[in-house]
């Protein structure tokens, strides 16, 4: 083999070695991603459950005022939607508008 051919062969081998290293790194990342996604899904499920519990606890509850049962309305915050109001209050808001 000529000197030029040996240099090209050596250079190509170095390129292939570098490509192999890059592909091995990518393969390792691809293999770990499903595990990371599973953890993220579990965290998302927990957060969703917590938010649902918080919304449920913020729902209107009956109370007593002057000996009468009334529906207590939670304090208005940016994340509270009109749909969380009791139906009678929703109808009143619609009529007022």
Instruction: List, as one string, the DSSP characters of 44-63.
Output: HHHHHHHHHHHHHHTS-EEE
Q: Are 70 and 62 in contact (CB under 8 A)?
A: yes
Residue by residue, pLDDT tens for the chain (97 residues) are 677 888 999 999 999 999 999 999 999 999 999 999 999 999 999 988 888 777 666 556 677 778 888 766 666 677 777 777 777 778 888 898 8
What pLDDT score does 96 carry? 87
Task: Return the closest-CA partner of residue 80 out of 49, 53, 94, 59.
Answer: 59
Give the model's pLDDT for residue 68.
81
Length of the chain in residues, anyone? Answer: 97
- Coil, strand or helix: which one is 73? coil
Q: Output the six-digit token pair for 82.
A: 């009109």
């Amino acid at each position: 083999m000529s000197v030029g051919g040996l240099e090209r062969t050596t250079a190509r081998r170095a390129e292939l070695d570098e490509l192999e290293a890059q592909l091995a790194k990518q393969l390792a990342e691809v293999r770990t991603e499903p595990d990371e996604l599973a953890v993220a899904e579990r965290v998302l499920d927990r957060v969703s459950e917590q938010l649902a519990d918080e919304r449920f606890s913020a729902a209107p509850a009956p109370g007593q005022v002057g000996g009468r049962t009334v529906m207590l309305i939670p304090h208005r915050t940016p994340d509270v939607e009109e749909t969380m109001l009791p139906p009678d209050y929703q109808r009143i808001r619609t009529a007022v508008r």
